[in-house]
């Protein structure tokens, strides 16, 4: 090969040599042979061969990466997708064919929300396999809780929201707050301890555990295993109310009842006092109706009994006998009356007859009747009287006393 | 009866209703249940009327014992 005169031919190296040199240079650097690097996945492409090629970017810099199939399969790396924040473990090498420095990944971990999500999925799968989310484990919530335990932060608006709901819906209830941290690294243990505390105290009929809305990281405590375990070992039914409607936490899956928000949790925990008012009123009504029916029944029975009694009473016999007696008496009277009037008729007839034969009629015509005063006998001939006898002559209108002359 | 909580009173009210539904019960006893039930309903209503939410705070003191005190929210 010809080199111009102004170049020292012995100092010129071929591309191959340079590439090999670069390769060696990188490969001899211990740091570069086992390094973690983090950035965002882009231009990701997995070939039918199973090798995955992508670019790891961060700020203005980027480095091409390759994740060979064999490396992927023996690692715990998730399937990489564009936009994922990942940390890669691997080595840096020079790929002479393309003339570029390349990162050869051996393992990959998700970072940030992605990492949280992965942990979430792993814990969820593990607890589900253990049966912690089973429907048979869910206990019914008490219909009429007297005491409600609340696990949340005293500082949070969520507590105020819950108390407002309870005050409005069901002020009969007593609230026992077991304060806890609800975010940060100490929150999971704090929540678990508060749940245990309420169980130790033992008076709550139901427990609400929750906090208001926040970022995924802020809600993260409710995705920790210690919290899940504390909920599952609670002897008191637990209602979870974490974040907003769209937030689902591990606590939600373990809880006996998942409410979408703290407010919804408080609502689910108690009945509405208005319903109670209606219930009391209804019971009162039922009570009155039952009693009224019962009294009607009794009144009815009484009526029947009285009638039966009257039928069975000796008085009715007496009454009937009395009626018979009255009847007989009446008939007797009628008969007597009849016989009397019959006799009267007869008497009248005889009287008339008598009258027509009466000597008075004869006297009236001017005849007289003479009686001896001594014995009242009628003087019909002379031999009956002697001189000096007192006689009485009866004429039409009276009596004339006379004396028989010598 | 004054001592009864709402829940207890309501449960007894339900029991009185159930008892009264038994038509075979002697009248005097039925009347007693009725009067008792009416008093319970009255008691329930009064409790609902004057109910006020109480909030207490549970904590562990330095000796490890549970303590409970009214919670004052500013």
Q: Tens digit of pLDDT for each residue in A58-101?
A: 989 999 999 999 999 998 888 898 988 999 999 999 998 999 99
Instruction: Please give the mean pLDDT across all residues of chain A.
Output: 90
pLDDT at A322: 87
For residues A163 and A213, membership in a common domain is answered with yes
For residues A94 and A16, membership in a common domain is answered with yes
Q: Is residue B30 part of a domain?
A: yes
**ipTM given for this complex:** 0.74
Pick the last residue of a domain from A248, A271, A294. A271
List CB contacts (< 8 A) between B31 and chain A.
291
* CA–CA gap between residue A261 and residue A20 (Å, rounded): 62
The larger pLDDT score, comparing residue A225 to residue B54, is at A225
Q: Is residue B41 part of a domain?
A: yes
Q: pLDDT tens, A185-229?
A: 999 999 999 999 999 999 999 999 999 988 888 899 999 999 999
The larger pLDDT score, comparing residue A306 to residue A252, is at A252
pLDDT at A274: 84
Is residue A235 predicted with pLDDT exceeding 80? yes
| Segment (H or E) for A258 | strand A257-259
Q: pLDDT tens, A103-157?
A: 999 999 888 777 778 888 899 999 999 999 999 999 999 988 999 999 999 888 8
The answer to whether the Cβ–Cβ distance between B73 and A159 falls below 8 Å is: yes
The answer to whether the Cβ–Cβ distance between B20 and A201 falls below 8 Å is: no
For residues A95 and A147, membership in a common domain is answered with no
Pick the last residue of a domain from A271, A290, A308. A271
Q: Is residue B1 part of a domain?
A: no
List CB contacts (< 8 A) between B53 and chain A.
163, 166-167, 171, 173-175
Q: Is residue A229 part of a domain?
A: yes
Residues within 8 A of A (CB atoms), B 12-71 only: 13-14, 16-17, 20-21, 23, 27, 30-31, 34, 37-38, 41, 44-45, 47-48, 51-60, 66, 68, 71
CA A151, A207, A171, A270 torsion: positive or negative?
positive
Most confident listed range (A6-10, A309-313, B14-18): B14-18
Is residue A358 predicted with pLDDT exceeding 80? no
Q: Is residue A99 part of a domain?
A: yes
Give me the residue label for tokens 């014992």: B65
CATH at A220: 3.40.50.1970
* CA–CA gap between residue A91 and residue A35 (Å, rounded): 6
* CA–CA gap between residue A184 and residue A150 (Å, rounded): 19
Count of domains forming chain A: 3
For residues A261 and A147, membership in a common domain is answered with yes
The answer to whether the beta carbons of residues A35 and A89 sit under 8 Å apart is yes
* CA–CA gap between residue A332 and residue A57 (Å, rounded): 139
For residues A261 and A148, membership in a common domain is answered with yes
The answer to whether the beta carbons of residues A262 and A241 sit under 8 Å apart is yes
For residues A267 and A164, membership in a common domain is answered with yes
Q: Is residue B20 part of a domain?
A: yes
* Rg of chain A (C-alpha set): 67
Strand pairing class (A390-395; A100-110) = unpaired
Pick the last residue of a domain from A224, A247, A271. A271
Percent of chain A clearing pLDDT 70 (strictly above):
100
CATH at A48: 2.40.50.140
For residues A93 and A215, membership in a common domain is answered with no
Q: Which residue of A has its CA nearest to B46?
A: A277
Spatial CA neighbour of A120 closest among A256, A209, A247, A265: A247
* CA–CA gap between residue A156 and residue B14 (Å, rounded): 40
Q: Is residue A130 part of a domain?
A: no
The residues that bridge with A220 in the sheet, in sequence order, are none
Q: Which residue of A has its CA nearest to B39?
A: A284
pLDDT at B73: 66
Task: Decide if A166 touches B, using CB distance below 8 A.
Answer: yes
Residues 6+ apart with CB under 8 A from A249: A219, A222, A223, A240, A242, A243
Count of domains forming chain B: 1
Q: Which domain holds residue B66?
A: 6-70
* CA–CA gap between residue A106 and residue A87 (Å, rounded): 11
Q: Is residue A333 part of a domain?
A: no
Q: Which domain holds residue A177?
A: 140-271
* CA–CA gap between residue A330 and residue A324 (Å, rounded): 10
* Nearest chain B CA: its distance from A41 CA (Å): 48
- The DSSP code for B72 is P
Q: pLDDT tens, A28-49?
A: 999 999 999 999 999 999 999 9
| Nearest-10 Cα torsion for B8, A178, A127, A110 | 150
pLDDT at B74: 52
Helix (H/G/I), strand (E/B), else coil: B20: helix
Q: Is residue A316 part of a domain?
A: no
For residues A148 and A267, membership in a common domain is answered with yes
Q: Count the alpha carbons within 13 Å of A221 in the hemisphere toward its beta carbon.
A: 29
Q: Is residue A277 part of a domain?
A: no
Q: Is residue B44 part of a domain?
A: yes
The answer to whether the Cβ–Cβ distance between A177 and B56 falls below 8 Å is: yes
């Amino acid at each position: 090969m010809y080199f111009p005169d102004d170049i020292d031919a012995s100092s010129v190296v071929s591309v191959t040599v340079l590439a090999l040199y670069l390769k060696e240079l990188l490969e001899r650097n211990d740091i570069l042979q086992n390094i973690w690097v983090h950035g965002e996945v882009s231009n990701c492409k997995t070939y039918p061969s199973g090798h995955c090629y992508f670019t790891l970017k961060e700020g203005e810099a980027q480095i091409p990466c390759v994740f060979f199939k064999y490396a992927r399969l023996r690692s715990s790396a998730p399937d990489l997708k564009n936009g994922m924040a990942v940390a890669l473990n691997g080595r840096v090498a020079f790929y002479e064919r393309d003339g570029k420095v390349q990162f050869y990944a051996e393992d990959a971990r998700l970072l940030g929300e992605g990492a949280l999500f992965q942990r979430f999925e792993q814990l969820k799968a593990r607890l589900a396999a253990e049966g912690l989310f089973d429907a048979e484990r869910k206990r019914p919530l008490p219909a009429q809780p007297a005491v409600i335990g609340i696990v949340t932060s005293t500082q949070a608006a969520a507590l105020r929201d819950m108390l407002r709901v309870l005050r409005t819906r069901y002020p009969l209830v007593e609230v026992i707050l077991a304060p806890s941290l609800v975010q940060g690294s100490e929150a999971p243990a704090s929540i678990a301890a508060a749940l245990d505390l309420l169980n130790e105290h033992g008076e709550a009929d139901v427990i609400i555990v929750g906090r208001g809305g926040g970022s995924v990281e802020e809600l993260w405590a409710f995705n920790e295993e210690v919290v899940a375990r504390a909920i599952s070992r609670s002897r008191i039914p637990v209602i979870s109310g974490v974040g907003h409607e769209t937030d689902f936490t591990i606590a939600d899956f373990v809880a006996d009842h998942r409410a979408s928000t703290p407010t919804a949790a408080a609502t689910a925990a108690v009945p509405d006092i208005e319903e109670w008012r209606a219930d009391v009123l209804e019971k009162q009504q039922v009570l009155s109706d039952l009693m009224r029916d019962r009294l009607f029944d009794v009144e009815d029975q009484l009526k029947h009994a009285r009638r039966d009694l009257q039928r069975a009473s000796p008085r009715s016999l007496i009454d009937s006998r009395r009626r018979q007696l009255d009847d007989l008496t009446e008939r007797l009277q009628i008969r007597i009356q009849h016989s009397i009037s019959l006799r009267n008729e007869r008497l009248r007839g005889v009287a008339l007859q008598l009258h027509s034969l009466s000597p008075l009629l004869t006297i009236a015509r001017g005849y007289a009747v003479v009686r001896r005063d001594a014995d009242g006998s009628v003087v019909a001939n002379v031999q009956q009287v002697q001189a000096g006898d007192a006689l009485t002559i009866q004429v039409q209108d009276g009596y004339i006393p006379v004396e028989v002359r010598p | 009866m004054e001592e009864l909580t709402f829940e207890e009173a309501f449960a007894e009210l339900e029991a009185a209703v159930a008892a009264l539904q038994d038509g075979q019960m002697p009248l005097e006893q039925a009347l007693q249940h009725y009067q008792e039930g009416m008093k319970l309903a009255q008691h329930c209503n009064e409790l609902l009327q004057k109910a006020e939410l109480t909030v207490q705070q549970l904590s562990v003191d330095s000796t490890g014992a549970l303590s409970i005190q009214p919670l004052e929210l500013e």
